[in-house]
């Protein structure tokens, strides 16, 4: 009986050290300057959270809630050119139509010409940004 080899027809996987190109993506605008672009957004998460207090009866059972504020948290992962600086804490970030205050900015990776930032901005419905 003759045996035949079966080969996987999938394309070969990329190897470490090869050059990759990122195409497309969204642009981020910092503060109020519409011409200031930091880089390409490769991840964009938006979380919505309610700030509330529970209402209890005399037995301690929850009979309702009072929502007194809402918080929107925008998390971005950004690929920027080397030599750029991460946004400062307290600056305003506008992304996807949401403007918030930057409360976390971290450099997560750097490799030759690219730097990766993770930035988190918060917006509360009762807070006016100036």
The 3-state secondary structure of 12-65, one letter per residue = CCCCCCCCCCCCCCEEEEECCCCCCEEEEEEEEEEEEEEEEEEEECCCCCEEEE
The pLDDT value recorded for residue 30 is 45
> Could you list the pLDDT tens digit for every one of the 130 residues in the chain?
455 444 444 545 555 556 555 455 555 554 333 334 677 777 888 899 999 999 999 999 999 999 999 999 988 888 777 677 888 999 988 887 888 899 999 987 766 667 888 899 999 988 777 6
Quick one: tokens of 85? Answer: 């600086």
Q: b vs e for 92-111, b when ≥16 Cβ sit within 10 Å of the residue's Cβ?
A: bbbbeeebbbbeebeeeeee
The whole-angstrom separation of Cα 62 and Cα 58 is 10
The pLDDT value recorded for residue 112 is 64
C-alpha dist (Å) from residue 114 to 21, 38, 44, 79, 109: 11, 12, 18, 6, 8
The model carries a pTM of 0.62
Domain range summary for the chain, segments of one domain joined by +: 26-124
Long-range contacts made by residues 16-22, C-beta under 8 angstroms, separation at least 24? 22/79
The pLDDT value recorded for residue 31 is 37
């Amino acid at each position: 009986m003759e045996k035949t080899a079966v080969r996987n027809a999938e394309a070969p996987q990329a190897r470490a050290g090869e050059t990759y190109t990122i195409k497309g993506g969204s642009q981020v605008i910092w503060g109020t300057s519409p011409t200031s672009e930091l880089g390409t957004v490769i991840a964009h998460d938006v979380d919505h959270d309610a700030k509330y207090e529970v209402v209890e009866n005399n037995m301690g059972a929850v009979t309702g809630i009072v929502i007194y504020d809402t918080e929107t948290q925008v998390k971005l992962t950004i690929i920027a050119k080397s030599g750029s600086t991460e946004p400062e804490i307290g600056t305003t970030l506008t992304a996807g139509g949401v403007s918030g205050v930057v409360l976390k900015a971290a450099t997560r990776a750097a490799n030759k010409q690219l730097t990766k930032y993770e930035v988190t901005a918060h917006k509360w419905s009762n807070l006016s940004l100036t």
